[in-house]
Amino acid sequence: MSHIKHTMLSYEEIKEKIEAIRDPIKRVMFKLMYATGCRAGELIQIKPSDIRYEIILGKPYVIVKVKTEKNPHTPTRNLPISIEEEKWLTQEIIEYKNLMRKKEAKLMFRKHRTTIWRYCYDVLNFNPHELRHLRLTHKVERDNYSISKLIHFAGWTDFKPAKTYIHLNYKSLV
């Protein structure tokens, strides 16, 4: 099991760090990973057909279908990413998805889970689970995610891990 350093970067700091990645494929990879809060093993299963555009309540979203083996009750989850609020994430994801569709690629990224971990250490200086931790923290702090929303977004089976994040948002009680 990995030791998480609990690097706490703000939303703007992680945005800067990801945007500074020079390799466009790695940049899209980490944008998708951060946007969905997915695990490395989930990222490598995402297909171009798992990413779609949808209007929800009059606003445009990119919807990413993420498959997990961690939750047998809900083996897939559809995660909406607001195009208006997070264009820095969605634009390049859509462009890369369209490129992969043209190439008739079966997967968005043909990488092994351990390769994703290595890239993350090399490029961002922390592990993929920390990137997931940052996204979940930001969803609570910026988007006021409730326990039920966080459970669905993270793909958990119960509320216990969500409690770690929900206590961060004490300001929503005021």
Per residue in 114-129, pLDDT (tens digit) is 999 999 999 999 899 9
Q: What percent of the chain has pLDDT over 90?
A: 68
| Amino acid letter, residue 165 | Y
**SS3 sequence of the chain:** CCCCCCCCCCHHHHHHHHHCCCCHHHHHHHHHHHHHCCCHHHHCCCCHHHEEEEEECCEEEEEEEEECCCCCCCCEEEEEEECCCCHHHHHHHHHHHHHHHHCCCCCCCCCCHHHHHHHHHHHHCCCHHHHHHHHHHHHHHHHCCCHHHHHHHHCCCCCHHHHHHHCCCHHHHC
Q: What percent of the chain has pLDDT over 70?
A: 90
- 11-125: which CATH topology? hpI Integrase; Chain A (1.10.443)
Q: How does pLDDT run across 60-99, given as a tens digit for each residue? A: 999 999 998 777 777 899 999 999 999 999 999 999 999 9
**pLDDT, mean of residues 11-28:** 96
**pLDDT, mean of residues 19-42:** 95
The three-point CA angle 51-57-139 to 5° equals 65
Lookup: tokens for 113? 């889970």
Lookup: tokens for 166? 């929900």
> What pLDDT is stored for residue 131 in this prediction?
93
* pTM, full prediction: 0.87
